[in-house]
Structures are given as structure tokens and as C-alpha cells.
Amino acid sequence: MRILHLSSECAPWAKSGGLGDVVGALPDGLIRAEEGVQCAVVLPLYRAAKEALNKRGLSLVDTGIIADVNLGNVTARVRYLRLDREGKATVFFAACDAAYDRDGIYGHSDDGERFILLCKATVGVAKQLMGGEPDILHTHDWHAALAAALVQTSARALLPNTKTVLTLHNLAYQGIFSKQLVPISGLGWEHFNMECAEWHDHLSLLKAGIALADAVTTVSPTYAREIRTPKFGANLDGFLRRRRLYGILNGIDTEEWNPVNDPHVQGSWSADDLSGKDEARADLMSVCQWPDRKDVPTLGIVSRMTSQKGLDLVAALVPELHAIPARLVVLGTGQPELEDAFKRAARYHQQDVRAQIAFDVPMSHKVIAGCDALLLPSRFEPCGLTQMYAMQMGTIPIVHATGGLADTVDSSRGFSFDHPTVQGLRWAIDQAVQTYRRAPERWRAMQQTSMRTDWSWARSAREYLALYRSL
């Protein structure tokens, strides 16, 4: 089976959140799950990707494959460069410096054109990239969704047998642009209607993909149910109720998150012998310049700072931490008001709070492995990966029971609360801290249950392969 993934992110080359992790690991999981699976990924060659490749001393092979794409008054040339990796999925970088050689993956005024370019170019050369027509084109989020729609419309003659999958990683981002982009999108005006690519007289790239992909999936069974309701549907719930949705839970890269051997973390431990985790905590405490106190648990946060993640609820609890008692270590970047709230908290509550406003992968490992419990009070969470990283490392998650958090954290592995309010979060933190202090045996049992769970991609990869085959 030939499977081509198309995405705006793929770790470690380009990552702003979990999408990058998933696309960095799922293709390899598919290859491992079954013999005869040929799998490749396409992503743009951003400036950050060039830097990441240079840092590792890796060079790309020029495939000679070129796509010239009409974007209205200009024609953009995309060259495809290849990274070969032994036993792993091939990674193709779509190079067009005018579009992608800039600081930052997103947030440019021409993001619509940049990702229309990625989709049109890649659909045009998919057959050449894979050495034959792909059986499956698997697209991720709005940046790639248009490619699924094109295969069903203007590119059908080119790819007559290719089936398409669109995975929704986060319905909050829909790729909505001026309808002036319709003529360059490759979709005809006949698709610019409520049942397809139109969103209130604008072009919605995500809607086009949802309408036209052969299968639409999302990253947990609970989120698949939630987004069919007005509360979670981001104005697309009615549209989604008319489509079948597959909820396939993400896995994690258990090589990257491995308590026995993590280059960013001190100590080595397993479910049978947890003692090494104390070294990871001591190391985190020394980074924080705090005394290592075993009687006061450390709560961690590693997160994008957006309203999705519910971090305002944590900020509101800062004055109560000392009495709970608990200490808080925060690593994140995002909305300035949330960054400021945690900077202020760290300044005024030095005994209780540390905040690092940065995107720092080594530090994310130190925090997740070294803290006792990880906080995820997300208002909604399509899947969430950090709670699984935490459980893999013997750190107990405290979560709002929504989306993938509800599907991964039960009472044998963590603490959850039903209402995303300050009181709800406080209640769950109290439960956790009391268990940590008064029932260490139960705490240890939860750590062991978490660590003995298989969080790897093996199960999800089998589910995706079954879906591909059914198409």
C-alpha cells in the first residue's frame, strides 16, 4: 500500500504543537505495523526546517521533481527535496523560498496562498513522488485539506484511484480566507456553496476537505462525538453531523519519551523501580533553584498558551498554591496576557511558581519527567499528547475530562474534573495533593498503571490501516 501524508508540520523539522509530533511519528508507525507499507510525508521547506536539518548535518537529495503552480498573477515553482531515513518514512520537503523561507511557520498575510500552493503542487506530483499512484493521500488539518478536495475534483484524472483521508487535529483552525482565492484554489465556483467550500461568503479550506475527502477522522473518539454538538463544533457541528467521523486516538513516540533513557532528563526508572524519578525531580528543582522537598508536590505545565488550554484557571489559583501546598513550574508561549500572568506569578510568588516563557523541547522533557503531576485544564482537547508523555514517564495527569483527555486519563492513572472552572480545577488538585501526601501507595500504583500502559502508535496505526483498506 502506498500512503502519502501531507501536512504543514512534521517533527523534528517543523513543529508548533501536537500536529508536528503526530505527523513525525504516525508514518513510521504505519511502516512498523505492516510489511509492504510504503509511506512518505510532504511538508514545506520552511526556514526553521532548513535550520533543523543544518543543525543535524543532514543534506537533502534533489529529486528533480518540480511543480509550476498558477497563483493568479504569478507562477510559483516548487521543487521537491528528499530526506531518506533507514527503515523510516521518506520525508519530502516542498521548496519554494518565496513562500516558505521566512521566520515562523504561520501568521503571514498570505497563508492562504502558501498552503493552496502546497496542496496544488503536491497533488500534481504525488504519483512521481511515490513512484506510482498513491493508494491513500492522508491530509492533516486545514493546511492540507484542499488536497483531498482537489483529488475529488480537478485532479481526479491525474489520480483516478487515490482515496483521501482528512484528519481534524483541531477544529478551532479552519483556514478561512477571502473568496478572491477561489479562482487560484483549483476548486471551481460550483464548489463555493454551503455544502462545500463556502463559509459565510468566504473560502473555507477545511470545509472543502470535510465535504470531499473519502474519510474524515479526528484524533480521539470523545472529540469525534463532541464536535457534532454546538458546544464543541466551532460552528461546523451541523455540517459534521451529516458526515461519518472516525475517532482514532493518537499514540506517542515511545523512543522519544522513554524513562529508561532520555538524554534531556537525569535518572532512569521503570514501573518496577521508580526510584530514578527522584533524580529527575531533584534536577528540575535545581534548575528552578528550589530546595528539593518531597513533601510538597510539584505541578507542571507544558503548553501553548491559548484560551483552549484553560491556563487562566491555573493563573487564578496561584495565590492558593502555598496553602494547598504545591509548587508550580510553567513552560509555554502564546497569548501575551497569559504569558504576562505567569511572569507576574513567578515574580510575586517566587517560593511557589517558576515560569519559562519559551518553546524549549529539552526543558519540556525536564518538566514532564521531573514534576509529580501535570496540569491540563483544557476547555477542549482534540487528543492531547502531553498527558500521555506524562503517564509514560510516571507523572500523574490532572485533567478536565474532555476529548482525548477523557479517553486517556481514568481514575487508575490520574485525576479529572467535569467543569472547566477554577473550583473544578481546585477540587482535582486537592484530590491529587491529598493522595500524594497521605496515600503514597495509591500514588505509586497509579504511576505503575500509567507506565505499564502501551501508549505507542502500534494500536492507532492498525486502526488507520484498517480504515485505509476499507476505502
CA distance 5 to 10: 10
Shortest reach from residue 331's CB to ligand ADP, in Å: 5
302 binds, among ligand ADP, ligand GLC, none (CB under 5 to 8 A by kind): ligand ADP
Give the contact letters, 361-400, x = binds to ligand ADP (CB under 6 A), - = no: x--x------------------xxxx--------------
Shortest reach from residue 46's CB to ligand GLC, in Å: 18
> Could you tell me if 224 and 171 are in contact, meaning their C-beta atoms sit under 8 angstroms apart?
no
**From candidates 90, 162, 250, 392, binder to ligand GLC by CB under 6 A:** 250
**From candidates 3, 5, 13, 21, binder to ligand ADP by CB under 6 A:** 21
Residue 297 or 332: the one with the smaller Cβ distance to ligand ADP is 332
**From candidates 124, 370, 384, 424, binder to ligand GLC by CB under 6 A:** 384
- C-alpha 124: how far from its chain's center? 27
Shortest reach from residue 174's CB to ligand ADP, in Å: 15
> Could you tell me if 409 and 416 are in contact, meaning their C-beta atoms sit under 8 angstroms apart?
yes
Closest CA to 408 of 215, 252, 216: 252
Shortest reach from residue 32's CB to ligand ADP, in Å: 20
Q: Which stretch binds ligand GLC (CB under 6 A): 11-19, 67-75, 199-207, 360-368?
A: 11-19
> Could you tell me if 69 and 117 are in contact, meaning their C-beta atoms sit under 8 angstroms apart?
yes
Q: Which stretch binds ligand GLC (CB under 6 A): 15-23, 190-198, 240-248, 323-331?
A: 15-23
Q: Which stretch binds ligand ADP (CB under 6 A): 132-140, 144-152, 329-337, 459-467?
A: 329-337
- Give the number of C-alpha atoms closer than 13 A to the C-alpha of residue 202, restricted to the C-beta side: 12
> Could you tell me if 157 and 20 are in contact, meaning their C-beta atoms sit under 8 angstroms apart?
no
**From candidates 3, 10, 19, 318, binder to ligand GLC by CB under 6 A:** 19
Radius of gyration of the chain (CA): 23
> Could you tell me if 233 and 240 are in contact, meaning their C-beta atoms sit under 8 angstroms apart?
yes
Query: How many residues lie near ligand ADP (CB under 6 A)?
Result: 18
Binding to ligand GLC, residues 209-238 (CB under 6 A):
219
Q: Residue 18, interface with ligand GLC (CB under 6 A)?
A: yes
SS3 labels along 26-93? HHHHHHHHCCCCEEEEEEECCHHHHHHHHHCCCCCEEEEEEEEEECCCCEEEEEEEEECCCCCCEEEE
Shortest reach from residue 23's CB to ligand GLC, in Å: 9
CA distance 158 to 133: 9
Residue 117 or 357: the one with the smaller Cβ distance to ligand ADP is 357
Q: Residue 220, interface with ligand ADP (CB under 6 A)?
A: no
Residue, CB closest to ligand GLC: 18
Residue, CB closest to ligand ADP: 18
Q: Residue 352, interface with ligand ADP (CB under 6 A)?
A: no
- Long-range own/partner contacts, residues 424-431 (CB < 8 A, 24 or more apart): 424/313, 424/377, 424/400, 425/310, 425/313, 425/314, 425/317, 425/375, 425/377, 425/398, 425/400, 426/317, 426/320, 428/398, 428/399, 429/299, 429/317, 429/324, 429/326, 429/375, 429/398, 430/324
Element at 397 (helix H, strand E): strand 396-400
Residue 53 or 368: the one with the smaller Cβ distance to ligand GLC is 368
Residue 365, amino acid: H
Binding to ligand GLC, residues 151-180 (CB under 6 A):
169-170
Residues near ligand GLC (CB under 6 A):
17-19, 22, 169-170, 219, 250, 381-385, 404
Residues near ligand ADP (CB under 6 A):
17-19, 21, 302-304, 331-333, 359-361, 364, 383-386
